[in-house]
Amino acid sequence: MLGQYLHYLVVRAFQNIRENRFLTVVTVAVITVSMLLFSCFLLIYFNIASALENWGHDVQVSIYLRDDVSEARARAIMAELDERPEVTGTSYVSKEAALESFSKSLTGIAGIIDDLGTNPLPASIELTLREDLKDTRAIEAFVASIQRQEFEDVDWSQEWVEKFYAFLDLLRWSGIVLAGLLASASVFIISQTIKLGFYARHDEFEILELVGATPSFIRIPFLIEGIVQGLTGAMMAEVLLYVAYRGVARLLDAGLQETLGAMSFKFLPPSYLGGIVLGGMCLGFLGSMLSVRKVVRVGAQP
């Protein structure tokens, strides 16, 4: 008996969809566009966040030494710093190596450097900190604890770390605002479409009321209809997103390889795709529920 009841509700929902093809197409199109816009933003956010995580994966601390500090003394300091639990790696950069690296990074200034006569760049010790040590206050405390008279300056790119997390937070909040706006528009369109369906079958509801149908009996098919519309729109959005991704991925990868090395443009992982589908279904359900919640008795107009 329960199986027949559920079967009828599902069949009735798909009949509603067939009988209102135009409205269904419009609703699915709106959901598709909304989910596609959000999915594009999510794809961009995912890749930017991945790139920033890679760039900020290791916190680097550069210790610039005074000119009177010998290499032997610098390596002794390295050995001491290497014992710190916050440090995962150390390296020594001599004055000559620093000048050579600087010259390679700025081509065309070899003559200017030769005119200087002396090497103005200091030797340095490069520290790599633990992956989980990215809190600003924790790094500041570490830097303060390693200060020595042999150090000319200690630089750990505090501004970069702070901007790194501020930018990620901005992207997250932008995504939340965009999702809210698109969801509101989609829910409104779905609810209006379902309401039109109610109006179109008002006489049918009155007949059902006379034969003893309950309000839930008439509401549930419309809820199923909204879920199906949301599911269809979300899946179409993912298909279009993948087609667009395949079209631009190679071009983007070529540019990223030139500028960022091994960085590549990636498609959304399955967990994100599943969330998009679930979000589309929730939008459809919510839009349908808003349109039928005012039906107090079968046959009443929404």
The full length of the chain comes to 302
Domain ranges of the chain: 2-55+162-292, 60-155
Residues 194 and 200: their CA atoms lie apart, in Å, by 10
What Rg value do the Cα atoms of the chain yield, rounded?
A: 31
Q: Give the CATH architecture of domain 60-155.
A: 2-Layer Sandwich (3.30)
Asked if residue 190 has pLDDT above 90, the reply is no
> Whole-number mean pLDDT of the chain?
77
Which one, of 171, 183, 182, 177, lies nearest residue 45 by Cα? 171
DSSP-based three-state secondary structure for 131: coil
Q: According to the model, what pLDDT value does residue 168 have?
A: 75
Q: According to the model, what pLDDT value does residue 299 have?
A: 44
Amino acid letter, 119: N
Average pLDDT over residues 167-187: 81
Which one, of 205, 295, 275, lies nearest residue 38 by Cα? 275
Residues 238 and 275: their CA atoms lie apart, in Å, by 11
Tens of pLDDT along 196-208? 766 666 666 667 6
Which one, of 201, 281, 200, 38, lies nearest residue 289 by Cα? 281
Tens of pLDDT along 226-268? 888 889 999 999 999 998 888 777 766 555 544 444 456 788 8
> Where is mean pLDDT largest: 10-24, 52-66, 271-285?
271-285
Q: HEC string of 211-265?
A: CCCCHHHHHHHHHHHHHHHHHHHHHHHHHHHHHHHHHHHHHHHHHHHHHHCCCCC
